[in-house]
């Protein structure tokens, strides 16, 4: 049961990352370089960084062998 929930979370996070990248490409077309940097910076902070922090904390949880380690990270 826990593996199914974890798999659904991984799929959801991957969809979030892919949507963030596609939105970044759509919003940054025909914009100045300053505007592109702002758009990609915001999308990196709000879309991609959450997935990466979750991925790092889950990896650390498996490395340590304690479920509470993921919450601490």
Name the CA dihedral angle for 41, 47, 50, 52, rounded to a multiple of 10 degrees: -80
pTM of the model as a whole: 0.61
List, for residues 20-51, the tens digit of each pLDDT value: 889 889 999 999 999 999 999 988 888 778 77
Find out whether 58 and 70 touch, Cβ atoms under 8 Å. yes
Q: Which of 22, 19, 21, 16 is nearest to 55 (CA)?
A: 16
Could you read off the pLDDT of 52-72 as tens digits, one per residue? Answer: 787 788 778 778 877 777 776
The per-residue pLDDT for 15 is 84
Query: Would you give the DSSP letter of residue 41?
Result: H
Helix 33-43 with 2-28: angle, nearest 10 deg: 170
Residue 67 or 2, more confident: 67
Q: Which of 1-5, 6-10, 17-21 reaches the highest mean pLDDT?
A: 17-21
């Amino acid at each position: 049961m826990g593996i199914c929930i974890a798999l659904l979370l991984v799929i959801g996070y991957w969809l979030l990352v892919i949507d963030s990248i596609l939105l970044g490409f759509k919003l940054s077309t025909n914009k100045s370089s300053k505007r592109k940097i702002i758009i990609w910076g915001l999308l990196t902070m709000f879309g991609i960084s959450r997935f990466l922090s979750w991925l790092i904390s889950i990896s650390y949880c498996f490395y340590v062998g304690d479920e509470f380690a993921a919450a601490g990270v």
